[in-house]
Structures are given as C-alpha cells and as structure tokens.
Amino acid sequence: MAAAAAVVTPSGLEDGVSRSRGEGAGEVVVERGPGAAYHMFVVMEDLVEKLKLLRYEEELLRKNNLKPPSRHYFALPTNPGEQFYMFCTLAAWLINKAGHLFEQPQEYDDPNATISNILSELRSFGRTADFPPSKLKSGYGEHVCYVLDCLAEEALKYIGFTWKRPAYPVEELEEETVPEDDAELTLTKVDEEFVEEETDNEENFIDLNVLKAQTYRLDMNESAKQEDILESTTDAAEWSLEVERVLPQLKVTIRTDNKDWRVHVDQMHQHKSGIESALKETKGFLDKLHNEISRTLEKIGSREKYINNQLEHLVQEYRAAQAQLSEARERYQQGNGGVTERTRLLSEVTEELEKVKQEMEEKGSSMTDGAPLVKIKQSLTKLKQETVQMDIRIGVVEHTLLQSKLKEKSNMTRDMHATVIPEPTIGSY
C-alpha cells in the first residue's frame, strides 16, 4: 500500500512528495500522493496497537468508565465534542506514562489552553508540531493521530519497551486416518518408499560390464519369446478380478492444504462456474424485470403527457391565479404596513385623549363639589364659638385682676393708718 510506505513529517505532510517553487510569488506548492488521504487510517491502527501494549484498557478506560475507541476513531468525524475529550484524556495519560507530570483535563477547561499545554509537552520530547493548534480542536484528523502516535512512542520508550522478532506458532499436522484394509496409499508413504529405493540403489554399486551382459541376455530372451507373447493365454475373468482386487491399492490420496494456491485457484474456478450458472438463471429474470420497468415507465410518460395536454388550460388558469394571488399579497403587505403605522398613531392619540379627559374630570369635580365650602363654614362657626369663649375667659380674668388690685389697695391703706402713733401716748413714757 502506498500510504503505509509513506512517512509522516511533523507538519502532517509526507516525505517523498514532489515540491515545486513558484517563480513569481516564491510559494512552495506541495503535491501529495493519492494515498495521503488514507495514511491517517494506518497511523490510527498503529496507535491502537501501541495503546494495547501500554495496557490502556486496564489503566485508563476502566478507571474512567470510557468506551474503547475503534480502529478508526480519530480518523473519521463522529462526535467532535466526545472525540476532543477523548483526545485530551488520552494525551494527558500518555504524557504521564512518558514520565512528565500533566494534570487530567476537565470538561469545562479552556480548549485552547489545553491544546497549547499538550503541544508544549510534545515539543519538550523533541518532537516538532508545525501546524496550527486549531487543527486539534476538532478532535479528529491526521494531526490528532500524529500527536497521539508520537506520545505513545515516547511512552513506550520511557517504559523500555523493545520490539522483538515474531515467534510463529508451530502448526501440528493432523495425521490422516488410514482405512483398516490399508487400501489407499498416502503421498508421504509413496515418497518414503521412493527415497528408500534410491538409497538402496546408491548403496549397491553395479558394474557396467555386468549390466551390459544382463541387458544383452534379456534382449535375446525377449526376441525369442516375442512369438509366444503374441498369443495370450490369460483368462479375461481372472484378469478383471485381479484388477478389481488391486485397484483400491493403486489409489493415492494427496492431503489438501488450505493455504496452497492450487486450492485457491480451484475455489476460484468453482465460484466462477457458480456465478456463471447463477448469472444465466438470473439474467433472464433481470431482463424480464428490466423490460417490465421500461414498459411501465413508457406508460407513465405517455399518461403524463396526456394529462398535461388535457389539463393545459387549467394549468394556465392556475398560473394566472397564482400571479393574482402574489399581487394581492403584495398589496396586502403594503396595506398592512400602513394600517400598522396608523394603529400606532391612533394608540398614541388615544392615550393623550385619556390624559386630557382625566384632567378635565378632576377640575370639573373640584369646581362643582360643595364639600370644601361646607368645611369652610363649619370652620368659621367653630372659630366664632372659640372666640366667644375666649372673650368670656378674658372678662373673668380682668374682673379677677381688678378685685385683686382693689383688695391690695385697701390693705395698703389700712396698713398706713395703723402705723401712725398719737403724741400724748408717747410723752407719758
């Protein structure tokens, strides 16, 4: 596969792609191969195998109650939010497995900050990331697979994992059961007997001269017996019985191996013949079905044309009615806009009228109502009564003061007369 042979650079481009520089602008044009679009599937499958080596199912998935991702989980878009959370969780776990402390991201963390932290940890391992961080926000794609694959490799290096040569299991060949009469011979037995005969022949050295003499004598005997051989004396019934007796022993059973390409070729021929035979049977049904469908489509087309011709005037009337309806709707929209504006103005005028009416009612009620006059009259009457009472009290007080002044004056006069002493009284002493 072309995609498997390609090497992904940190920028997500493949090594070995042709690059050409523009003459005017100086921009680099990168031409990627046809298998570049499928390379992330290969990287994703390698990532899953590396995660299994790191025992992520026991240490990460079961502890966090997460579902194991599929072999192409980060290569295809399914649920961007879930994929981004899974990417951050795996990246944090791999960074911790690689010996660096990294906090497990939470669901409400800033995705830009989380991505920048992951890329900084990736660069601390000596890896390059020449792509914008926004490529990782989707949670899938070749850049996501690249970052996780690099972190998985660093984690494997930290735990000291090394790749060893594969140990292929030894396949035990099942022994084929031989019938009781040992009528059939296996190919292995035939090969063993043939090998034993060859070894026996190699061990026994034959002289060439002796072999030539034996050959000459045999030729002479055969030439002498040619006339006897022309006429057979063997009974045909005995010959057929002997053939039937020896025939089961002459069968050679070859064990079939499912991995042999000959078996696959035979299966292909069998499938081909089966497909051809099934095609012959189904082709007639398919042709018949095709013809029926074609006739039905022709009938439908002819009926459709007939209906269109018969209903042409109705269609024209319908189109004219549609045009009139559209014009009426336009006029309705225009009129509806004017009605809305006038309704708004009417509501404003009505509000102002209500305010004026309320003010007029308040003034009219205040002008026609006699309650304030009654209150004023009552107040004046009460003031007059209080004034009369005050006048009476003032008169009483003035009378009391006059009496007290008169009494005080009389007392003073009496005291003055009492203090004058007569002269004869003074001289007698």
DSSP labels for 391-418? HHHHHHHHHHHHHHHHHHHHHHHHHHHH
Instruction: Give the tokens for residue 292.
Output: 């029926």
Confidence check: pLDDT of 429 > 60: no
Burial of 365 (0-12, 13-18, 19+ CB in 10 A): exposed
Domain boundaries, given as residue ranges, for the chain: 37-159, 259-366
Distance CA 68, CA 80 (A): 16
pLDDT tens-place string over residues 327-371: 999 999 888 888 888 899 999 999 999 999 998 888 877 777 677
d(CA 254, CA 263): 12
- Which among 76, 68, 97 has a CA at the least distance from the CA of 145? 76
> Is 135 within 8 Å of 143 (Cβ atoms)?
yes
Say what the pLDDT of residue 417 is. 84
Containing 5, the helix (H) or strand (E) segment is: helix 2-5
- Range from 112-121, 185-194, 372-381 carrying the lowest mean pLDDT: 185-194
Strands 28-31 and 18-21: antiparallel
Which two tokens mark 197?
């005969």
Contact 122, 92 (CB under 8 A): no
DSSP state of 248: G
User: φ and ψ at 19, to 5 degrees?
Assistant: -125, 135
CA 225 – CA 195 distance, rounded (Å): 34
CA atoms within 13 Å, Cβ hemisphere of 132:
4
Report the alpha-carbon distance of residue 131 to residue 123 in Å, rounded. Answer: 12
What CA–CA distance (Å, rounded) separates 149 from 50?
8
DSSP string, 41-89: HHHHHHHHHHHHHTTHIIIIIHHHT-PPP-TTTTTS-S-HHHHHHHHHH
Q: How far apart are the first and last CA of the chain?
A: 173
Phi and psi at 176, nearest 5°, equal -80, 135
pLDDT for residue 156: 87
Per the CB < 8 A criterion, the answer to whether 54 and 97 are in contact is yes
Give tens-digit pLDDT for 153-203.
888 888 888 877 777 777 665 544 444 444 444 445 545 554 455 454 444
SS3 18: strand
Banded pLDDT at 252 (limits 50, 70, 90): low
pLDDT tens string 4-61: 333 334 333 334 333 333 333 333 334 566 777 778 888 888 888 888 888 888 888 8
Distance CA 325, CA 332 (A): 10
Is the pTM value of this prediction over 0.75?
no
